[in-house]
Structure 1
Amino acid sequence: MAKTIVILGASYAGLTIAHKLLKHTLKTVNEETKVVVVSPTTHQYWNLASVRAIVPGQIPDEKLFSSIPDGLAQYKDSAHFIHGTATGLDIPSKTVLIRTPSGEEQKQPYDTLILTTGCRTIDSASPWKSSLNGYEATKDALHTIQEEVKNAKTIVVGGAGATGVETAAELGFEFGKGKEVTLITAGQQLLTGVPPSVAAFAENELKKLHVSVLKEVKITSSFASANKTELTLSNGDKMLVDLYLPTIGVIPNSEFIPKELKDEKGYVTVDQYLKVKGTEDIWAAGDITDCQAAQFIYCEKQAEALSKNLDLVLNGKEPVVYKADGPPIMGVSLGRSRATGRFGNMKMPSLVIWFVKGRTLGVQKLPGLVSGSAF
């Protein structure tokens, strides 16, 4: 009887694992095995470049979106794509409940289940993550933001994590003094948690790009009307701006997962092998897990490690430990010519981060990810 591996989520981690299984592992296992990929969107969105894509004319849609079913078609009967969203997980019966865009509910059995459903933004209209409503909704939201950026004279970016800093820098680089761009953070420094030298470098570069920075101020509320947004700040001030871009907070896409498998924030708890704690035959990787921060570099590392462990386990061998306790790593682009980052407590050279990330924000990797040619 054929075995079924179900992968929930088809973004960076999900597609990496799917292609590695289909191109390599399935050729070595003794039993007939198929891979079922379930995703609420038909197209992979290279959202790492969203901070630059909001600037009109910078990145065309064809460099940001690529068809997932087309990439899986090469595997014929070994791969099956389901356009839908997981709504329930029955562990005793090893079944996932899936709702399709038409509203149809269907049950998908599995022998091995892989959770790579990632996270979404608190503000569903933000372009920073793929919409749970699918490819068209994601593309429409991006186009809307592009038009709003084009028409805005005053823009506030809320939050000074990597996304907020990169967004403000892209806007400053493109528009300079032509638009009034302000970055607001409740923190004492930008990029909370990084070495002070990294934060200071980022702030200095933003100022060179004519971006105003307000620290230790929280945006307590926002009210949009008549093409304006009124922001209320924790210091009692109010700001009336043309466009407000919040970059604060993400929510794990884990509502369908039983509570006992998640931590208090909703992230799936995994062991040192990336196996979901308290389960058999369920694994997880990427932003949905509790083991590392939701960053692309960790998502890549976890996907590689889990692919290796699945290959081992499906071939009757023992998995190996995934080391998640290495020095913290972060790369932050600062417009189209500068960047900063950290490796542990060391500040990385601007040129290195720009070359690795800032030049293109990785869009050249999209075709290889979706087609599997990268693996």
Structure 2
Amino acid sequence: MASTKTVIILGAGWAGLPLAHKLLKYTSLKTSLKVILISPNSHFFWNVAATRALIPGMIPDESIFIPIATGFRHYSADTFEFILGRATGIQSSSNSVAVLANNGESRIFHYHHLVIATGSSMASGLPLKPIGTHEEMLTAWHDLQAKVNDAKDIIVAGAGPTGVEVAGELAAKFGKLKKITLIMHGDVPLESSGDLLSSVQTTLDTDLQKLGVKLIRKTRVEAVNVSSDGKTQILSLGNGSTLATDLYLPMHGIQLNNSFVTDSFLDSRGNVDLNGMMRVVGTENIWAIGDVSNAGPKQLTVTDNQINYLASALDAALTGNGPDVPYKPINKTMIFLSLGKKYATGQIGNWRLWGVLVSYVKGRNLFIDSANGYVGGKHLRHAPM
């Protein structure tokens, strides 16, 4: 029998976790394989729902924090291992990765193939994307919920998808009980979002105002100071004005989780640099996927396409079957936005979606009913390899 091949996947988020399931479900039937999944967080964060769940009492923790180990318990220990820890370095010459385990132990793991799928974090450090261990994540999450609960005045900065949804969800829940303000650099929401239709932007603008969100246009937050009593944040805007608020939520920008990746593997913007086959440039057996890479837009809607390609490419590399086929990115615009349960809009290609459709599909429960199945590998997209 052929010797066992080891695939190490760094990161158990939207890309790394389903990729592990695909390899275990299909490739392991064709060749002797072990998948090692490494993540500092023991729970998958269903952050599609984070924009609503940050409001206390709206969504319970157990609905958005799903134990990862439970989702993989049907695989044998010979084929799968889940390690709680974070990568600290890659040594490609020895096909090894250094890992600092959550218990403080330093370990070295050897691989035949390595996949970097560590994703990104919010540039502000807000926990709308995973941070640290599950315990660290919960502490930050509950702290944010408490601040949202106590604040009477909340300012959201950044009119990208996350900022727009947060402002909309807050206004939909609290109405006139809290003052909600959205600061945007452009003239309309999502102005810098590529091929987005102006009708989608106009719909968002109108719906936010219907919900009572105050829109401040064509400026950005330049500085943040705290009042002498420590209770108020003072924002200095680029237009020369200042605003005082109980809670400031900067929702713009991401930070790539690439601190362990050698500079030679990164492009000029800090992305893991890939060739047309999703291999890290200059390597044959190191791959990357998702936000941390330059495989495509940093959007959840393109993740399935990347997962299916990389699963097939790894299958071919591990079994020796199948030609090398270049990755074909999705160029179609796909976006779905919900502002509470009543208002929503979206776009596929050049079509603006009816708000009632997006509200029904996404806005009702933000796909929470799919979370356990996703973590358990029951909702893998498209046909097996």
Report the TM-score range of the alignment, normalised by the length of the smaller protein.
over 0.9
Aligned structure 1 segments of 4 or more residues deviating by more than 3 angstroms: none
The question of whether the paired residues in 1 share the 8 Å contact of 2:302 and 2:330 is answered with no
The residue that corresponds to 2:142 in the other structure is 143
Identical positions, percent: 37
State the 1:356 CA deviation.
Answer: 2.9
The residue that corresponds to 1:326 in the other structure is 331
Q: For 2:211 and 2:331, how far apart are their aligned partners in 1?
A: 34
The residue that corresponds to 2:363 in the other structure is 358
Superposed, which structure 2 residues align to 1:96-115 within 5 Å? 96-115=97-116
The residue that corresponds to 1:63 in the other structure is 63
The question of whether the paired residues in 2 share the 8 Å contact of 1:16 and 1:304 is answered with no
The residue that corresponds to 1:180 in the other structure is 179
Q: For 1:362 and 1:319, how far apart are their aligned partners in 2?
A: 35
Q: For 2:266 and 2:350, how far apart are their aligned partners in 1?
A: 31
State the 1:358 CA deviation.
Answer: 2.1
State the 1:42 CA deviation.
Answer: 0.6
Greater mean deviation of Cα atoms: 173-182 or 139-148:
139-148
The question of whether the paired residues in 1 share the 8 Å contact of 2:289 and 2:295 is answered with no
Superposed, which structure 2 residues align to 1:231-270 within 5 Å? 231-270=235-274
Q: For 1:153 and 1:113, how far apart are their aligned partners in 2?
A: 48
The residue that corresponds to 2:224 in the other structure is 222
State the 1:301 CA deviation.
Answer: 2.1
- The C-alpha deviation readout for 1:93-124, integer Å capped at 9, x for no partner, is 11101111233221111001111100011122
Q: For 1:257 and 1:353, how far apart are their aligned partners in 2?
A: 38
Greater mean deviation of Cα atoms: 61-70 or 185-194:
185-194
- The C-alpha deviation readout for 1:60-97, integer Å capped at 9, x for no partner, is 00100111122222212210111111110111111101
Q: 2:20 is matched with which residue: 18, 21, 27?
A: 18
Q: For 2:297 and 2:278, how far apart are their aligned partners in 1?
A: 14
**CA RMSD after TM alignment:** 1.4
Q: Structure 1 counterpart of 2:52, which letter?
A: R
State the 1:25 CA deviation.
Answer: 1.0
Greater mean deviation of Cα atoms: 178-187 or 274-283:
274-283
State the 1:310 CA deviation.
Answer: 1.7
The question of whether the paired residues in 2 share the 8 Å contact of 1:166 and 1:334 is answered with yes
Q: For 2:266 and 2:186, how far apart are their aligned partners in 1?
A: 28
The question of whether the paired residues in 2 share the 8 Å contact of 1:287 and 1:299 is answered with no
The question of whether the paired residues in 1 share the 8 Å contact of 2:98 and 2:108 is answered with yes
The question of whether the paired residues in 2 share the 8 Å contact of 1:195 and 1:345 is answered with yes
Q: 2:349 is matched with which residue: 344, 357, 360?
A: 344
The residue that corresponds to 2:88 in the other structure is 87
Q: For 1:374 and 1:271, how far apart are their aligned partners in 2?
A: 29
Q: For 2:281 and 2:376, how far apart are their aligned partners in 1?
A: 32
Local SS of the residue matching 1:34: strand
- The C-alpha deviation readout for 1:234-269, integer Å capped at 9, x for no partner, is 111111101111101101111211212211221112
The question of whether the paired residues in 2 share the 8 Å contact of 1:4 and 1:34 is answered with yes
State the 1:325 CA deviation.
Answer: 4.6
Q: For 2:347 and 2:377, how far apart are their aligned partners in 1?
A: 30
Name stretches of at least 5 consecutive residues in structure 1 with no aligned partner.
none
Local SS of the residue matching 1:36: strand
Local SS of the residue matching 1:12: coil
The question of whether the paired residues in 2 share the 8 Å contact of 1:330 and 1:341 is answered with yes
The residue that corresponds to 2:295 in the other structure is 291
The question of whether the paired residues in 1 share the 8 Å contact of 2:305 and 2:329 is answered with no
The residue that corresponds to 1:36 in the other structure is 36
State the 1:127 CA deviation.
Answer: 2.1
State the 1:330 CA deviation.
Answer: 1.5
The residue that corresponds to 1:27 in the other structure is 29
Local SS of the residue matching 1:55: coil
Q: 2:285 is matched with which residue: 250, 272, 281?
A: 281
Local SS of the residue matching 1:297: helix
The residue that corresponds to 1:49 in the other structure is 49
CA separation of 1:224 and 1:69: change in aligned 2, threshold 3 A:
farther
Local SS of the residue matching 1:280: coil
TM-score (norm 1): 0.95
- The C-alpha deviation readout for 1:136-180, integer Å capped at 9, x for no partner, is 111121111111111111000010000000000000100111110
- The C-alpha deviation readout for 1:285-342, integer Å capped at 9, x for no partner, is 1111212221111122211221122223222122433321522222111221221122
The residue that corresponds to 1:374 in the other structure is 379
Q: For 1:227 and 1:82, how far apart are their aligned partners in 2?
A: 41
Local SS of the residue matching 1:260: helix
Name stretches of at least 5 consecutive residues in structure 2 with no aligned partner.
381-385
State the 1:277 CA deviation.
Answer: 2.1
